[in-house]
C-alpha cells in the first residue's frame, strides 16, 4: 500500500474514532436510565434538581414490557427521609397516598406528575442536574429492585 492511501485510511479511521469518543459521554448516561428485570423494564427514573432541605419532590418513571401482573409497593433512597406513593389527583381530593400501583401484564405504566407517582420527603442532600442517586423499589412479586434515578428529565 502506498503512503498516500495509508495516510488517507488512517485519517478516516481517526476521524471516526474521534466522533465515537465524542459521543461516548452522551450515550453512556442515556443507556444507564433503563433497567431490565425478568418481569418488566424500568425506563428513565428521574426527578427535578433540588437543594438539601426540600420538603417534597416528585419522582417519576415508566414500566414497560410487563410480562406478568405485579404491583409496585414502595421505594426508598438514602437521599430522602421517606418516599410516598401517590395516586392520581382528582378534583375532589387532590393527590392522595396510594398503597400500590398495579402493573398489569402487557400494559405500559407511567409514574408521572399528573398521575400516580412517588413523592420524596425531606431531601437530605443537594440534587444537582445530571447527578444519579440510588433507589430501591419493592414489588409484590418481583421483590426488591435496586436502580438509580437521574436528576433532570432529559
E strands, the chain, where? Answer: 34-36, 41-47, 56-64, 70-76, 80-90, 94-97, 101-103, 109-111, 117-123, 132-139, 143-151
- Greatest CA separation found in the chain? 80
Residues in the chain where the model's pLDDT stays below 50: 12-14, 16-31
Task: Determine the distance from the C-alpha atom of residue 137 to the mean position of all C-alpha atoms in its chain, rounded to a whole number.
Answer: 11
Q: CATH homologous superfamily of domain 34-151?
A: PCu(A)C copper chaperone (2.60.40.1890)
pTM for the whole structure: 0.76
- pLDDT tens across 27-39, in order? 333 445 899 999 9
pLDDT of residue 69: 96
Domains of the chain, by residue range, sit at 1-31, 34-151
Would residue 68 be called left, alpha or beta, if left means φ above 0 and alpha means ψ between -120 and 50 degrees? beta
pLDDT tens string 58-81:
999 999 999 999 999 999 999 999
Amino acid at each position: 500500500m502506498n503512503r498516500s492511501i495509508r495516510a488517507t485510511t488512517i485519517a478516516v479511521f481517526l476521524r471516526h474514532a474521534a466522533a465515537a469518543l465524542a459521543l461516548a459521554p452522551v450515550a453512556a448516561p442515556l443507556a444507564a436510565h433503563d433497567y431490565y428485570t425478568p418481569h418488566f423494564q424500568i425506563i428513565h427514573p428521574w426527578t427535578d434538581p433540588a437543594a438539601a432541605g426540600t420538603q417534597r419532590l416528585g419522582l417519576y418513571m415508566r414500566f414497560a414490557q410487563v410480562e406478568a401482573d405485579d404491583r409496585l409497593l414502595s421505594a426508598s433512597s438514602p437521599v430522602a427521609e421517606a418516599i410516598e406513593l401517590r395516586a392520581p389527583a382528582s378534583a375532589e381530593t387532590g393527590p392522595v397516598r396510594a398503597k400500590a400501583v398495579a402493573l398489569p401484564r402487557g400494559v405500559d405504566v407511567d409514574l408521572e406528575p399528573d398521575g400516580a407517582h412517588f413523592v420524596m420527603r425531606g431531601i437530605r442532600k443537594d440534587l444537582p442536574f445530571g447527578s444519579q442517586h440510588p433507589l430501591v423499589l419493592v414489588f409484590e412479586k418481583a421483590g426488591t429492585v435496586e436502580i438509580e434515578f437521574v436528576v433532570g428529565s432529559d
